[in-house]
């Protein structure tokens, strides 16, 4: 049986370091002090994932890195290689979580 981390409201967000397009070791805790949206979409080739990403892109006005930031989390190396998603600074970035470490820490993937 698959086991997942279970985070509840009020639990501290797990800190991590993960690669982004421009930072090989982005420290997630440096994003503190604003609202954060973490979108665990697995692969941008999935239509539901694509819809979630496009919904965030339509609200770029919300993601300014001052009040809020959006971080998409991809587990699919093809997302990076084929440039299916791309950072839009300020406010929108993607983590390349090909080993699933971030997704597992947040309960989006079994450990």
Domain-located, residue 40 = yes
Give the 3-state secondary structure of residue 28: helix
In a domain, 22, yes or no: no
Neighbours of 16 (CB within 10 A): 15
Q: Is residue 76 part of a domain?
A: yes
Predicted confidence (pLDDT) per residue in 33-84, tens digit? 999 999 999 999 999 999 999 999 999 999 999 999 999 999 999 999 999 9
What proportion of the chain, given as a percentage, has pLDDT over 70? 100
Compute φ and ψ for 80, nearest 5 degrees: -75, -50
Q: pTM score, two decimals? A: 0.94
Q: What's the pLDDT score for residue 30?
A: 95
Residues 6+ apart with CB under 8 A from 38: 71, 73, 106
Closest by CA position to 76, among listed 68, 84, 88: 84
Task: Give the structural domain span for 81.
Answer: 36-105
Which residue matches tokens 């919300």? 62
Structural domains counted in the chain: 1
**Bridge partners, 94 (sequence order):** 72
């Amino acid at each position: 049986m698959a086991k997942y981390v279970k985070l509840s409201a009020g639990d501290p967000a797990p800190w991590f370091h993960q690669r982004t397009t421009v930072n090989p070791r982005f420290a997630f805790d440096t994003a503190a002090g604003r609202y954060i949206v973490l979108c665990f979409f697995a692969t941008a080739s999935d239509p539901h994932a694509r819809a979630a990403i496009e919904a965030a892109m339509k609200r770029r006005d919300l993601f300014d890195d001052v009040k809020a930031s959006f971080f998409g989390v991809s587990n699919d190396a093809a997302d990076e290689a084929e440039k299916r998603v791309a950072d839009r600074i300020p406010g929108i970035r993607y983590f390349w979580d090909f080993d699933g470490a971030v997704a597992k820490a947040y309960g989006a993937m079994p450990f």
